[in-house]
């Protein structure tokens, strides 16, 4: 009997061992839209998972001369992997086998002061970016997917009954403190999202966020925009029901000087940050709540479904660049006047010159010849300007691509 028990324990030990040999998946020849050649020069690529299956991943994060990738829906091991930015060599892998299960993924990540803060709805983790060790972690009920960061604080939304609470913690401790709340009104369920911060000329710290509320049935949405004075613990101003279609971008409002740029579905607004007055609004924009908004000089650039350039002072549409089959675009990164982003609509990596409004290139992953579903759809991008490298993924491989000279 002792031998049987010992044998079972040995089997259990091997079953729980992470470092097992996993046979890579077999090639899946491309069937349609197969690229014959590509302009992309791949410096290195490494599998996102040891079995080289399509696991997907979100936007990489450049840190010093390294890069951190995170995968989705593939178990609790190596949820985050830090790689040498020049060689792709794995430096560390981060895991949480208790709370990050195979169907869970990181919904939001923020970098601050050599720490990475990641949110997975109810869970928030603080991770040392140098060694991959968890500094602190919190697990709460009924959390929102997004987290925000402003100066020395991390912010998160918690829901309880008919009230949404905005909570904050010092980046070093992981102890949440409620600073603001919104109660359900007229059956609209509150939801605090997309927080960013701004320092008022008086020195007060102002938080800008939306109440992205809705009525479940029959469905209706309502968007309010708040400027909350964290220093004085009071609302500086609030704009009520500012998006007629009741839907908005999850990208945080962008602050440039004393102006706030906020994008809803089918509408963008420029708002005076001091008083909350609307400077201009523009409805001649593409629909969608993905993509991002950047301020480049005196221009507003957006990649919603198509790519648009607006006058930042007047709101006039300067140019609309149609992206064939594009949609559900990732946040863009602007480098040397060129906007880079990936698209879920066509699965390609795009590069657009902002000043001329010309698409320089849009490329499929070169791995489509062996993995027919290889796609940059959710890959996102980040850039190391010192090395001249762009980082992304195609669902199978973490990739480093040399930027064109």
Give the model confidence (pLDDT) of 293-328 as tens digits.
999 999 999 998 889 999 999 999 999 988 876 778
Q: C-alpha angle 33/39/42, rounded to 5°?
A: 100
Say what the pTM is: 0.89
Q: How many angstroms separate the CA atoms of 135 and 146, rounded? A: 20
User: Using an 8 Å Cβ cutoff, are 165 and 209 in contact?
Assistant: no
Q: Which helix or strand (DSSP H or E) is residue 294 part of?
A: strand 293-296
Please tell me the predicted confidence (pLDDT) of residue 97.
65
Give the DSSP letter string of 82-148. Answer: EEETTT--EEEEE--TTTS-TT----EEEEETTEEEEEETTEEEEEETTT--EEEEEE-SSEEEEEE
For the chain, list residues with pLDDT below 50: 1-20, 102-103
The backbone torsions φ and ψ at residue 201, rounded to the nearest 5 degrees and listed phi first, read: -55, -25
DSSP 8-state symbol, 317? E
Compute the radius of gyration of the chain from its Cα atoms.
Answer: 23
Please tell me the predicted confidence (pLDDT) of residue 251.
86
Please tell me the predicted confidence (pLDDT) of residue 385.
96
Please tell me the predicted confidence (pLDDT) of residue 290.
80
User: Using an 8 Å Cβ cutoff, are 211 and 190 in contact?
Assistant: yes
User: Using an 8 Å Cβ cutoff, are 58 and 73 in contact?
Assistant: no
């Amino acid at each position: 009997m002792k031998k049987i028990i010992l044998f079972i324990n040995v089997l259990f030990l091997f079953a729980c061992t992470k470092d097992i040999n996993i046979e890579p998946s077999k090639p899946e020849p491309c069937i349609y839209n197969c690229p014959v050649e590509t302009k992309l020069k791949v410096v290195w690529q490494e599998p996102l998972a040891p079995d080289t299956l399509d696991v997907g991943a979100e936007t990489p994060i450049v840190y010093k001369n390294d890069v951190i990738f995170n995968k989705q829906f593939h178990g609790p091991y190596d949820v985050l992997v830090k790689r040498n930015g020049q060689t792709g060599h794995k430096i560390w892998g981060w895991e949480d086998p208790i709370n990050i299960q195979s169907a869970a993924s990181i919904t939001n990540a923020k970098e601050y002061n050599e720490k990475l803060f990641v949110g997975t709805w109810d869970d928030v983790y603080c991770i040392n970016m140098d060694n991959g060790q968890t500094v602190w972690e919190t697990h709460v009920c009924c959390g929102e997917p997004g987290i925000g960061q402003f100066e020395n604080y991390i912010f998160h939304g918690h829901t309880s009954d008919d009230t949404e609470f905005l909570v904050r913690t010092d980046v070093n401790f992981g102890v949440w403190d409620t600073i603001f709340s919104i109660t359900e009104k007229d059956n609209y369920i509150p939801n605090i999202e997309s927080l960013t911060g701004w320092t008022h000329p008086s020195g007060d710290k102002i938080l800008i966020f939306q109440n992205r509320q809705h009525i479940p049935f029959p469905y209706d949405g309502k968007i309010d925009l708040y400027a909350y004075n964290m220093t004085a613990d009071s609302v500086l101003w609030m704009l009520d029901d500012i998006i007629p279609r009741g839907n908005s971008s999850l990208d945080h409002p962008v602050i440039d000087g004393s102006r706030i740029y906020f994008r809803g579905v089918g509408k963008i607004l420029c708002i005076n940050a001091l008083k909350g007055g609307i400077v201009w609004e523009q409805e001649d924009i593409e629909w969608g709540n993905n993509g991002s908004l950047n301020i480049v000089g005196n221009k507003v650039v957006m990649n919603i479904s198509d790519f648009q350039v607006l006058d930042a002072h007047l709101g006039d549409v300067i140019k609309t660049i149609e992206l064939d089959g594009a949609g559900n675009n990732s946040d863009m990164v602007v480098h040397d006047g060129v906007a880079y982003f990936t698209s879920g609509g066509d699965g390609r990596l795009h590069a657009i010159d902002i000043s001329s409004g010309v698409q320089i290139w849009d490329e499929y992953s070169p791995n489509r010849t062996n993995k027919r579903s290889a796609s940059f759809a959710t890959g996102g991008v980040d850039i190391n300007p010192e090395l001249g490298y762009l980082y992304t993924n195609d669902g199978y491989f973490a990739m480093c691509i040399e930027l064109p000279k």
